[in-house]
Amino acid sequence: MKKIVIVISSALCFFLFSCDSPKSQKVYTGVVEGTAIQIPAMTGGKIVELFIEEGQQVKAGQPVALIDTLELSYQRENLQGLLQEIDSQEQSAAANVARARKRVGLYHREISTLQ
């Protein structure tokens, strides 16, 4: 008989305390699944500032980080210098071709006059 009273009182306490009240707070546990996407940088460099935190959602076109472009600026200046050097070499080669054509024309005239 004591066992029945204990079981009934335990069940009654469980039901009374499990009822929602405005001050009650429920805690649930579980696993939230998401999709992780790796986003490659369009250029390399040192990250100066990060605008987002790990796990934060981002929208298309939203800046994610600021990359130090000083090294890229040096590379650009170097490449521009190389391009100018190639342009001047092209002009020099064109002048050499023009002189060579002129000499060939002169040689052709000399040969035709000798024949």
Domain count, the chain: 1
What span, in angstroms and rounded, lies between the C-alpha atoms of 110 and 103?
10
Q: What is the pLDDT of residues 15-56, one digit of tens each?
A: 555 555 555 566 666 666 667 777 777 777 788 888 988 888
Distance of alpha carbon 44 from its chain centroid, rounded? Answer: 8
Please name every residue paired with 47 in a beta bridge, in sequence order, or none if there are none. 67
What span, in angstroms and rounded, lies between the C-alpha atoms of 108 and 28?
98
User: In the predicted model, what is the mean pLDDT of residues 94-113?
Assistant: 91
pLDDT at position 54 is: 81
What span, in angstroms and rounded, lies between the C-alpha atoms of 13 and 5?
12
In a domain, 108, yes or no: yes
Q: Which domain range does residue 106 map to?
A: 69-115
**Which parts of the chain fold into alpha helices (H)?**
2-18, 70-114
In a domain, 104, yes or no: yes
In a domain, 4, yes or no: no
| Position 5 confidence tier, pLDDT thresholds 50, 70, 90 | very low
